[in-house]
Structure 1
């Protein structure tokens, strides 16, 4: 329980102005703490071949239209496919697979038995037939840190109130 003693209307107004600013800062910093922990866990949980997905995971906290908004994720086109998987029956974008094949395999084509094979098409056909198993690195990270979120925010708010002379 938090106790604050205020005497007089002028003191009350000054106190509320200061506390409001401190609480906004505390919530902002608390959300930053949460985003950093989520980012850290997501990086650990991300599947790694050459680490592009892992390295692309970023976090950001900002004020948008008076609200504090935190985001953690990757801007890579295939990040949602890794996170949520892909059902069979859908043929993926071959140009994205071409880039992937160049990065992961080092070539777009391969010669087998004197015949040249187009890797992005072959990979796409396999994904279309079998689907793509989900590997939820971000969802898992959010489940791992969920029990601590309330504690992190409460700690920041308590520090803000104590900085104004309140007792928590």
Structure 2
């Protein structure tokens, strides 16, 4: 099987006379050069605007506050329960124990602090715990019963105000 060039040599023709056959496309397409000329870097900088309008200060609307509430029954022996995650916009947290005086709940900012009563805060029935400005997480457990006694659940309610 001979190629086109070999056939031309067989006939004694000049190879420079061979012109490739146009199969598709526009062989005179100069789009590439035109685009290069249009998108090329210019040597002159853009002119500054003649008159710059004054920028009016934008009033920032106040943030909408949220009220996050909940009530939970904490069973003795449970692992620490996350009542509220950390929130940088939190303003106040109020926690109230809803049970009789024999049931207590412990709260802390770290679940590891709930292992011992000396590192946790005991929420009692007669006065709510108010934490103004506290933005960290809040964990709670039912206080463990005295040794040899059966533990009772602790019911607590909480409310958090955020900005």
Select the structure of larger CA radius of gyration: 2
Higher share in helix:
1
Q: Normalising by structure 1, what TM-score? A: 0.18
Q: Normalising by structure 2, what TM-score? A: 0.18
